Amino acid sequence: MSLTDKPEAMGQSIDMAEICHFLPHRFPFLMIDRAENYIEGTSITGIKAVSANEPYFPGHFPGNPVMPGVLLIEAMGQSGALLSSKTLGLKPGGQTIMFLGVDKARFRNPVIPGDFLHIPVKLLKVRRNIHFYDGEVRVGDKVCAQCTFSAIAVPSPS
């Protein structure tokens, strides 16, 4: 079952300024441009417009640019981190959401320059401060990547 199969109440939109408030990532490693359908403690959809100017395309692969799969996983992770950071109301510089694990990663279709990514992520559960998620990267109606992953809030270095 796809993460987008169930209709849900429309959630809040999050712009780049708010993303930068909650996430420590910056260009060229910030993998989401904005987010939609934020529902506190439940789900979010990260959005990324993939540009031909992305710094990894010249080397991955010359003449056949494909977004690396690990960056698709990172985009899911950043979307999940935004969901949890905003839900918890984390203060900049206080705590950072960091990956603990990635499971069941699958790559279904390539992502190329010009693609517009929708990255739906659902929070499955929180156990002992560990957040468990289910995520996808979609281009239109095609699933490009999917995985389950976990993360935890850790103190940011001072």
- CA distances 33 to 18, 24, 64, 132, Å, are 11, 14, 24, 23
Q: Taking the alpha carbons of 72, 134, 138, 153 in that order, is the dihedral positive or negative?
A: negative
Measure CA 158 to chain center.
25
Q: Looking at 21, 25, 60, 131, which residue is catalytic?
A: 60
Give the C-alpha separation, 12 to 155, whole Å.
27
Q: Are the C-beta atoms of 35 and 13 separated by less than 8 Å?
A: yes
Catalytic-residue membership of 60 = yes
List residues with catalytic annotation: 60
